Structure 1
Amino acid sequence: MNDWKLLIYQHFLKSRLDGLKEIGIDETSYRKGHKYITVVVNHATNTVVWAHKGHGKAVLTLFMEELTQEQRESIRVVTGDGAKWITSCVEKYLPNCIRCVDAFHVVEWAMKALDNVRRQSWHEAKSVAESYGKRRKGHPKAADEEYAAATTARQRSQDIKGSAYALGKAPENLTTTQEAKLEMIQLSDNRLYRAYKLKEMLRLLLKMTNVDTAEGELTRWVKWARHCRIPEFVELQRKIMRHKDHILNTIQLQVSNARIESTNNKIKLIIRRSFGFRNIQNMLDMVLLVCSNLNIPLPNRP
């Protein structure tokens, strides 16, 4: 890096790290093969204040150690996903800071558990349909019960296979076809429908604004998930309990990681428009230029 470029970069970091109160931390991939960069965003200005190659505790520690004691004390809220390395660094360097787990990631956990249950149900329905063998040629007889049962099993298998959007969307946004699939699941697959109801209950309680009410609903959800006899959601409630305080902090403060997720999309767009970067430092410099209000002094210009 050139000397003038290094001076501007250092001045940028010094000014950007002052007065931070609410920050978001996340990692985003910039190349195939698990190549990540860690990004820190200032929620107040929606700008990137720090970016570095890699992810994990060692990388985030570099950011924390660049902060002065006064800068650390000014940070009050840190948002992010449920990564342990974020929590451990916050506890070590920002003991007075409130750690928040983004609601989007919590719902994403539930969606992954629900999708695993859906796949299991589809494989079971597919096995039942295949047990009837291939469709026979010709028109079936009017009273052919085996043909009717085979047709119903095949249709159920196809409906479950194509129900990912119906199960993932909010009820008020469902189309007529998706509502029909959901009704079919409710009548024919109790386990999958219970998993869907668990996902919906968790999604709705995360939208609450009263933290006391949300805590009571979260306790009810954990009890239901713990005894639902669905392994994916039993494991999910353990994960929710590990992050319970951080989730309630998010509901109380009404914060999210939406801004840093939008910044991640900008970073991916920068990479696509540049057809990739051979030098990671050039990419980080471009991220700081585009995703912040960095003003570079140019010769003969005010």
Structure 2
Amino acid sequence: MPWKEVAASFHTSWEKVFHAVEYVVQWGLEHRDLSNITAIGVDEIAWRKGHKYLTLVYQIDAGKTRLLWIGKDRTVKTFLGFFRFFGEQRSQALKFICSDMWKPYLKVIEKKAGQAIHILDRFHIAAKLNKAIDEVRADEHRQMKKAGHEPVLKNSR
């Protein structure tokens, strides 16, 4: 529900709702437990046009999934900021990290949590696999055409 609607429902101002939310979020941050986290996932989301991203890190342990951290931009420096926040001891306790195949993520993960098993997310694996299949198919099509043979799978993927 938008904060403006919450304010109207409770006969108060938008600013008071904002401050109440800010207070509760701050209290939650101060009292959250970051112990026993063994699996995290990292991804980014576009929050504005023009390639403006936020880096998100989630806890993805069995039975406990939650947002742990948000960083502005999608850069090595941003992702390193998560590991500074998380701390060396907790980073070394990580057993699994799931991410896409963006090379800067891979480098940071290797540097800060190299002991963890790195799991590449299924969306990006499938995309890479489909791209490779398309390249092989297109190459075979070109070779058959060059050799004077009629392609078997004409106009199809």
Shift of 1:32: 1.6
Whole-Å Cα distance in 2 between the matches of residues 68 and 14 of structure 1?
17
User: Of the two, which has the highest radius of gyration?
Assistant: 1
| Aligned pairs (5 A) from 1:28-67 | 28-44=45-61, 45-67=64-86
Partner SS for 1:43: strand
- Give the conservation status (yes or no) of the 8 Å contact 1:27–1:36: yes
Q: Name the structure 2 match of 1:25.
A: 42
Q: Name the structure 1 match of 2:102.
A: 83
Please provide the CA RMSD for this pair.
3.4
Say if 2:95 is the partner of 1:73. Answer: no
- Give the conservation status (yes or no) of the 8 Å contact 1:37–1:51: yes
Query: Which letter does structure 1 place at the counterpart of 2:72?
Result: K
Shift of 1:69: 2.9
Shift of 1:112: 3.4
TM-score normalized with structure 1 length: 0.36
Shift of 1:73: 2.4
Residues matched between the structures, number: 129
Shift of 1:7: 8.6
Which runs of 5 or more structure 1 residues have no equivalent in the other structure?
A: 125-184, 197-302
Shift of 1:95: 2.7
The answer to which structure has the higher helix fraction is: 1
Q: Deviations over 1:172-208 (max 9, x none)?
A: xxxxxxxxxxxxx7x344xx88xx6xxxxxxxxxxxx
Whole-Å Cα distance in 1 between the matches of residues 105 and 31 of structure 2?
22
Query: Which letter does structure 1 place at the counterpart of 2:37?
Result: L
Whole-Å Cα distance in 2 between the matches of residues 12 and 109 of structure 1?
38
Structure 1 residues 93, 10: closer, same or farther in 2, change over 3 A? Answer: farther
Query: Which letter does structure 2 place at the counterpart of 1:111?
Result: N
TM-score normalized with structure 2 length: 0.65
Partner SS for 1:82: coil
Whole-Å Cα distance in 2 between the matches of residues 72 and 14 of structure 1?
20
Query: Which letter does structure 1 place at the counterpart of 2:26?
Result: Y
Which runs of 5 or more structure 2 residues have no equivalent in the other structure?
A: 1-17, 143-150
Whole-Å Cα distance in 2 between the matches of residues 55 and 22 of structure 1?
21
Shift of 1:79: 0.5
Whole-Å Cα distance in 2 between the matches of residues 14 and 85 of structure 1?
32
Shift of 1:10: 7.1
Percent identity over the alignment is: 23
Query: Which letter does structure 2 place at the counterpart of 1:47?
Result: R
